[in-house]
Homo-oligomer: A and B are copies of this chain.
Amino acid sequence: MKITVLQNIMNANDQLAERNLAILNRNGVLAVNVMSSPGAGKTTLILETIRRLRNRVRIGVIEADVASTIDADKIALESVPVVQINTGGQCHIDANMVSNALERIPLKDIQLLLIENVGNLICPADFKIGVQKNIMLLSVPEGDDKPFKYPLMFTTVDAVIVSKIDYLPLSDFNLDQFRQTVEGMNRKARIFSLSARTGEGFEAWVSWLESVLKDFSGGKGSGGDQRKTD
């Protein structure tokens, strides 16, 4: 009798993440996983990105929080499709939650899907959800020592955005030193610094996102989440 040997079986989460990625690629949707501490400005980044790109790019949003629909309510005011995930205590979203959310997003109608993860610098870095790009925000008031304390997040993302740079005059955050630290940990990561309040630095972030979207639509850059889960 022939024995079936199953090799290299991924864990359930990674398998679902691959499925999510395949669905996104098939529909030509670039998905970006947005991570940060609570209150670093994920929702504000997403809102401002929608406002700057809405005439050129069709955008959808998945919001995630332990509880509440506060963020999804804000996004809905922009008249873009949005689904709220409540994790009910879990400190990150997983591929299964995203899989369920994808069924409720009109993928045929959008090109860019912004996914706001739960506010947390630790757990979300450990869980693939099946997206093409992972980015993180660090706000100036949090301090420039965070890469040393939360190394996994900083070493696995495609872009690091320093937010709330309008707080720099009140803070001892050293932007040059922070750049050097991140570059030393993660050569591939693009680093941006911006303020949603003043608009400073936003253009560079939005231009990069558009160029990633262009590469993706041109058939390049759809390799997906290269992060390791262990």
> Which chain A residues have a beta carbon within 8 Å of chain B's beta carbons?
37-40, 65-68, 70, 89-91, 118-123, 126, 139, 141-143, 145-146, 148-152, 164, 166-167, 170
- CB of A66 within 8 A of CB of B151, answer yes
- CB of B123 within 8 A of CB of A91, answer yes
A140 nearest CB neighbor, chain B only:
B141
Contact of A70 (CB < 8 Å), options: B91, B148, B167: B148
Contacts of A148 in B (CB 8 A): 67-68, 70
List, sorted by A's number, 26 A–B pairs whose CB atoms are closer than 8 Å: A37-B38, A38-B142, A38-B146, A38-B150, A39-B141, A39-B143, A66-B122, A66-B151, A66-B152, A67-B148, A67-B151, A70-B149, A89-B122, A89-B152, A91-B120, A118-B122, A119-B121, A119-B149, A120-B120, A120-B121, A120-B122, A122-B123, A123-B123, A139-B141, A141-B141, A141-B167
A66 to B170 CA separation, bound complex (whole angstroms): 27
- CB of B67 within 8 A of CB of A146, answer no
How many copies of this chain? 2
- CB of B122 within 8 A of CB of A91, answer yes
A145 to B122 CA separation, bound complex (whole angstroms): 21
A39 nearest CB neighbor, chain B only:
B142
Contact of A66 (CB < 8 Å), options: B139, B141, B149: B149
